[in-house]
Structure 1
Amino acid sequence: MKMIILSIITALIFSCSQPQQDVAKVKQLTPNEFKKQKLSSKSVLLDVRTPEEFSAGHLDGAENVDYRGGDFAKQMSNWDKDKVYYLYCASGNRSGKAAELLREAGFKHIYNIGGYNTLKEAGVPTEVKVKE
């Protein structure tokens, strides 16, 4: 009996010492931390607000992918998982939820940068979509 218990304890110790799988985490960035980021061709800036919110003003270079539009998961299935994704919305809530979906889908480099107005007030460059 002692041998069985000792074997079980030994197995537990060795199973706990196995390297843990590298699980990506969604990182939070303040507006000032985001301004220091060097965006490149491997970076994607996503505005997950509605098209109407996006048209009223958005960060320079942002792509609009409406989190609540109904096909966010379908759209993200076509994205490159090796790129770095920066997400924002009106307050940071939708972008946080969208970032979690990316993480669950296996994306590795995900940043929630918060709300549009906070980013704008911090001096992050913005643009307004001109209606045609």
Structure 2
Amino acid sequence: MKLFFLSFTLLFLFFSCSQNKALHITEFSRKNTNNAILIDVRTPIEYAEGHLENAKNINWFDKNFEEQVKSLDKEETIYVYCKAGGRSAKAQQKLLDMGYKNVINLEGGYLAFMAK
């Protein structure tokens, strides 16, 4: 019985720790995240058409994406967003796989932000 509870607890911890964090972009407030890094993973053309204030553009499709993000502090909170949410979810997972500790996907993307 103890083994069952121990196994259950370890399984619960594994899945709760491995879940990706997300926040809908309409709930994002730059005022509350002054020490965080904000990354727009859209293309430079999309970025030039409009972006969140103080967002750094690191194109998900760029072959040097991993090299570009290596300069970021792995201990800082990083928010990522794209046009609708697909690329930012992939970028979030890539950053987590690279050892970044706190990466938050801004769900809905720039389209949802502009629609609000």
TM-score by length of 1: 0.71
Equivalences for residues 1-132 of structure 1 within 5 A: 16=7, 23=17, 25-35=19-29, 38-41=32-35, 43-114=36-107, 115-122=109-116
Q: Which runs of 5+ in 2 are unaligned?
A: none
**Is the partner of 2:61 in helix, strand or coil?**
helix
Give the root-mean-square deviation of aligned CA atoms: 2.5
Change in Cα spacing, 1:24 to 1:54, as seen in structure 2 (3 Å) is same
Displacement after TM superposition at 1:79 (Å):
1.4
CA contact (8 A) 1:25 1:103 kept: no
Moved more, 27-36 or 99-108: 27-36
- Give the secondary-structure state (helix, strand or coil) at the position aligned to 1:67: coil
How many residues in Structure 1 have an aligned counterpart in Structure 2? 112
The CA deviation string for residues 70-105 of structure 1, in whole angstroms up to 9 with x for no partner, is: 111111222101111111111100000000001111
Name the structure with the higher helix share: 2
TM-score (norm 2): 0.80
Tell whether the 8 Å contact from 1:25 to 1:110 is kept in structure 2 after alignment: no
Partner-residue secondary structure (3-state), 2:74: coil
- List alignment gaps of at least 5 residues for structure 1: 1-9, 123-132
| CA distance in 2: counterparts of 1:33 and 1:93, whole angstroms | 18
Question: Contact 1:48 / 1:94 at 8 angstroms: preserved in 2?
Answer: yes
Pairwise CA distance, 1:26: 2.1
Q: Distance in 2 between matches of 1:64 and 1:36?
A: 16
Q: How many percent identity over aligned positions?
A: 32
**1:3-51, Cα deviation, whole Å (9 max, x unpaired):** xxxxxxx9x77x847796794542111133213871122x011000000
